A and B are shown apart, each in its own frame.
Chain A
């Protein structure tokens, strides 16, 4: 009975079906433990957490330079910036938009720097319906979060914000355009 005090002698090894289940459960936990290092070495997706201290003003200055150097178009009043292939791309999360619109090439690796100028935001990349593409990363003020990213599909991909950042959070969107 679980509600009564138990006399001495309860400390004994399990046996029978209970022992079998313990062994199976322990093995399964080892499988779970091995999968993450395995994917780290063999898989193509991981969150390395690479980040650097940055003042919001300083990050903003880098983004403005990035926009000046690579602006190729303007959509809905927001600059469209082509990142140098294999180079650095910058993205600001701020209340309540992702800035600027990025233009990338499929199959090319970029260092994507993401930071916030105000609150915490959630970078959430959205594929089109049926594409099965959704990737999410935290964006914090003061942190230059570096994602080493390679788009593997072409098209237009929305970014939405999935970390509550105050009134207006629900309309915080952005765009990444990937060309073949």
Chain B
């Protein structure tokens, strides 16, 4: 069953890997829908950026709220989960020399997620669900909003089940020797987290749906928050796992990277599975009804072992790039970086994503998620400032980098306008960084998230946050640049898929110079020891110590800021 034949597979002209044809179709379909959802989210992003930029103030409050709901759902849920389904098909078959296990589960996955996504977007677009992504009860959307979400989640559960089946079949039929590849291991971690994430979602949303059709009382607000965040936060940890897996994948494809010690990388993924779920409580740190002790234990994910996991990947990923570059003869403390293929959008996306996630998203996330510090951060613009550096600058950018390889290798179409593609990751990364810095600064002045302006024009009691105006301009300008960068990615990708030159029967056109490309291919086809003589990752050591210094400064500066506010317990 797991055996590939010439009837159900093809041989990749670039990598020599066998590609199951059914998987290929499912990868294509999921990726196309993902990009459509990204487009919807990007168009909404233009509206949001131009509204929070006070000088322009494009949308009225109702439209601002609706756009925020559209943007959150399509970016955070639909674009990313459809991409992750594509990654699961790829990891469970192509990388294991394996054939897709179940047509029923696979088409069920795609069909249910498509229907669910359609129902939710219909509901929001027609004004039947102006409730934000979180849909906190007792705010109520029309019933199809909840049912669509449930169907989408069931579809995702079918997709993960099919992935588990693929792993089982590949092992049973011995389609590979030894242990599964690291990228597949990362995808497996993501899939396991997905299962308990979706189960939390079911417990939160099924009663809420029954309430929306009048069959139950309104769920308790605190109960709903606890369960909803059991869905909402771990689903972002699925993204983290998938993103790290994509980092390893892109590292291999672009520079021939090789992790120093796979046991370390795999242990880090294991720590995510075991401890990341506790991060759900980060959203409940200033909630009534949960004790301080409970909040501290959970917010530390049991002594920060999931943070440790990210800090491990923060070393192992750049170190794997560094040793490969050194193996090619690019030495010096940072010579390996100077000689990196910066013009390859796959590598550019990987590295920019790594930096934004680590220095931006990671540091702010741990700090804002500290029990007491959350008092000066909860629901301010600092929160979206943080997660745009994890999910957008981190995950979404890594997935864009992946697309620069998926389209030539799976769709077998070449990108045109290659000069634009080469700078696209930098445009997007720059925009997200400017916007996130603006959000963080404005949020530090108390500016709330999910709020159309900062001058409270029609309020009975005047409030004024106009001191934050310059920072709101950064939010608007950065957001506009980021949305433009994402739009460029979409246009290039759609053009490549439908109008790009076919590369069937030959290797993909490399993004790199022939000599760079040859060195990488040579590395990939030989067995070398990443811990061999002369390959010490000293540049990575310096970079990680820099990260730790930035982390410590930001973290303790926030305790200092907290010490200045009113006393409360």
Contact = CB atoms under 8 A, between A and B. Distances in A.
Contact of B221 (A140, A151, A161): A140
Range class of the B interface residue count:
35 or more
B467 A129 contact: yes
Contacts of A169: 61, 65, 450-451
Nearest to A50: B288
A130 B467 contact: yes
A60 interface: no
Interface stretch (A62-70, A81-89, A141-149): A141-149
A138 B461 contact: no
A160 B130 contact: no
Contact of B448 (A1, A47, A160): A160
Nearest to B463: A158
Contacts of B305: 29
Select the residue from B179, B446, B551, B567 with max chain A CB neighbours within 10 A: B446
A136 B264 contact: no
A136 B286 contact: yes
A143 B288 contact: yes
A11 B263 contact: yes
Contacts of A51: 288-289
A31 B557 CA distance: 15
B375 A32 contact: no
A70 to B, nearest CB: 19
Given A36-B299, A171-B456, A164 B132 contact: yes
A4 B181 contact: yes
Contact of A45 (B288, B372, B448, B536): B372
Contacts, number: 328
Interface residues of A, number: 97
B257 interface: yes
Interface in B298-343: 299-300, 303-305, 307-308, 311-312, 315-316, 319-320
Nearest to B457: A171
Interface string B269-300: 00000000000000011111111101110011
A111 B239 CA distance: 41
Contact of A3 (B179, B252, B312, B568): B252
Given A171-B456, A171-B459, A22 B446 contact: no
A147 B379 CA distance: 18
A32 to B, nearest CB: 5
A22 B307 CA distance: 12
Select the residue from A3, A30, A35, A39 with max chain B CB neighbours within 10 A: A3
Given A1-B524, A21-B541, A47-B374, A166 B139 contact: yes
A89 to B, nearest CB: 13
A51 to B, nearest CB: 3
Interface in B491-516: none
B567 A136 contact: no
A81 B224 CA distance: 33
A12 B261 contact: yes
B389 to A, nearest CB: 19
Contact of B296 (A7, A36, A122, A130): A36
A119 B136 contact: yes
Contact of B287 (A7, A140, A161, A173): A140
Contacts of B448: 122, 124, 160-162
B484 interface: no
A131 B138 CA distance: 35
Nearest to B468: A129
B553 interface: no
A143 B453 contact: no
A32 B292 contact: no
Given A5-B177, A29-B303, A49-B288, A36 B462 contact: no
B371 interface: yes
Contacts of A24: 545, 548
B366 interface: yes
Given A33-B300, A134-B446, A148-B568, A22 B264 contact: yes
B465 A133 contact: no
Interface string A9-35: 011111111101110111011101101
Contact of B372 (A4, A46, A122): A46
Select the residue from B289, B305, B458 with max chain A CB neighbours within 10 A: B289
B180 interface: yes
A87 B62 CA distance: 40
Contacts of B131: 164
Contacts of B285: 47
Contacts of B303: 29-30, 33
Given A17-B536, A47-B568, A135-B375, A142 B179 contact: no
B544 interface: yes
Given A2-B259, A136-B379, A25 B461 contact: no
Interface in B185-209: none
B124 to A, nearest CB: 14
Contacts of B216: none
B563 A136 contact: no
Interface in B515-569: 524, 531, 536-538, 540-541, 544-545, 548, 551-552, 555, 559, 561-569
Interface string A84-97: 00000000000001
Contacts of A16: 531, 536
B181 A147 contact: no
Contacts of B137: 120
Contact of B544 (A8, A21, A46, A49): A21
A46 B393 CA distance: 32
A55 interface: no
17 contacts: A6-B182, A8-B178, A10-B263, A12-B263, A14-B264, A36-B296, A44-B567, A47-B568, A49-B290, A49-B292, A120-B138, A122-B448, A137-B375, A140-B225, A150-B567, A160-B463, A173-B462
Given A48-B569, A118-B138, A142-B220, 16 more contacts: A17-B540, A20-B541, A24-B548, A47-B292, A47-B371, A47-B569, A77-B460, A120-B221, A122-B378, A122-B379, A135-B565, A136-B286, A138-B378, A141-B221, A164-B131, A165-B139
Interface of A: 1-8, 10-18, 20-22, 24-26, 28-30, 32-33, 35-37, 39-40, 43-51, 75-78, 97, 101, 109, 118-120, 122, 124-127, 129-130, 132-153, 158, 160-167, 169-175
Sorted nearest first, the 4 A-B pairs with minimum C-beta distance are A51-B288, A134-B446, A162-B448, A145-B288
